[in-house]
Structure 1
């Protein structure tokens, strides 16, 4: 099993990076869609339906599969012997930030349900502020992995 993990490691790491890029693109874009949904959808007839479809496709077709692949590949890499030393602080910091990123993903899904049910109470400004969450988490993750603090 160890030989297999070492053999597939470069492929798993490559797939992990591609999935993370796709997931992050969605995490950056969806809150921006919510800003426009709040601020513009009511001003143009039929626009809300378009926003609903764009948000749903982004979540279901891009973000969710990318998150699953990123997690799966990340876990495979974690279980590859010699890759992660659990006595180091960086894997714990990265892990906490990835859990935070996953929480944010689910928070965005809950906000979509609010829109669908007509219960959204957040403003465009509040969504703009929340749009910074994935950036902060990304900085923490990249620094933890590259600098290994």
Structure 2
């Protein structure tokens, strides 16, 4: 498979994954608002279903992003990897995004178990937190400033 196809697939799956990572915490915001207003239990259960389905829908995209990213690194070779300081920084930031992904799973499990939740503001901040990381990852990958 050519490097251009690997790049295209890596970027596609990354975009699909990020779309889910941006939407899942937004569902948490609405879920927390719903629980705070004591609306129907049916609505609460529907949020649980939506959150679980979305997390399990986007997780394969996280895996495919990783697979095609590793394939790109292997295709470029060890010498390129060793000389690419920007990539080393990017990979550290990517690890943070994967940690964020699995933290969202912990939050999802807390909602599913009806554990006390945080404020809707917390989930709004959680929703916006990865934006700067993703911006830095994209800049590193495109501009390669280091």
- The aligned counterpart of 1:91 is 87
- The aligned counterpart of 2:10 is 16
Q: Is the 8 A contact 1:31 1:127 kept in 2?
A: yes
CA 1:84–1:34 in structure 2 vs 1: closer, same or farther (change >3 Å)? farther
Q: Larger helix proportion, structure 1 or 2?
A: 2
Q: Provide the TM-score with structure 1 as the length reference.
A: 0.88
Q: Within 5 A, what are the aligned runs for 1:102-141? A: 102-141=98-137
How many angstroms apart in 2 are the aligned matches of 1:44 and 1:121? Answer: 17
How many angstroms apart in 2 are the aligned matches of 1:124 and 1:64? Answer: 24
Residues 27-74 of structure 1: CA deviation (Å, up to 9, x unaligned):
10000000000002432341011101111111112x101000000000
Mind listing any 5+ residue stretches in structure 2 that lack a counterpart? none
**Aligned CA-pair RMSD:** 1.6
Aligned residues: 142
Q: Provide the TM-score with structure 2 as the length reference.
A: 0.90
- The aligned counterpart of 1:81 is 76
Mind listing any 5+ residue stretches in structure 1 that lack a counterpart? 1-6
Q: Is the 8 A contact 1:39 1:124 kept in 2?
A: yes
